[in-house]
Amino acid sequence: GQNIDQPTEMTATEGAIVQINCTYQTSGFNGLFWYQQHAGEAPTFLSYNVLDGLEEKGRFSSFLSRSKGYSYLLLKELQMKDSASYLCAVRGPTGGGNKLTFGTGTQLKVEL
């Protein structure tokens, strides 16, 4: 099975940097995804890591360490619109149908 942990809530200041951590214990691993979800809307894709290291995409970066079962999402130059839930999801092995297992999500609140 899959067990994915994220902090429930975080608060940060506009213009600052915030790091959202995700740890996972899985029976198979074929990539880790980060999604952003605003209330009442579907998740939107932010980043994907399958190899160890840092992936940078504009204001968002994501890091993965497979040996530690650990990932983080880094958001820079925070804006008010970044207030949302951030979901960490692990994809299972290819033979398992590419299923995603989601963490509980981290609700980020950006304040002035």
Partner 1 sequence: GAVVSQHPSRVICKSGTSVKIECRSLDFQATTMFWYRQFPKQSLMLMATSNEGSKATYEQGVEKDKFLINHASLTLSTLTVTSAHPEDSSFYICSAGGTGSGEQYFGPGTRLTVT
CB of 104 to partner 1, least distance (A): 5
Nearer to partner 1, 83 or 101 (CB): 101
CA distance 29 to 93: 6
Cβ proximity of 15 and 80 under 8 Å: no
Contact assessment for residue 7 and residue 106, using Cβ atoms and an 8 Å cutoff: yes
The burial of 62, by beta-carbon neighbours within 10 Å (0-12 exposed, 13-18 middle, 19 or more buried), is given as: buried
Cβ neighbour number for residue 55 with a 10 Å cutoff: 16
CB nearer to partner 1: give 3 or 13: 3
Closer to partner 1 by CB, 89 or 110: give it. Answer: 89
Least CB distance to partner 1 at residue 107 (A)? 8
> For residue 81, which amino acid is it?
K
Smaller CB separation from partner 1, 95 or 112: 95
CB of 65 to partner 1, least distance (A): 19
Chain residues binding partner 1 by CB under 8 A are: 31, 33, 35, 40-45, 48, 50, 87, 91, 97-105
What is the closest distance, in whole angstroms, from the C-beta atom of residue 87 to partner 1 in the complex? 6
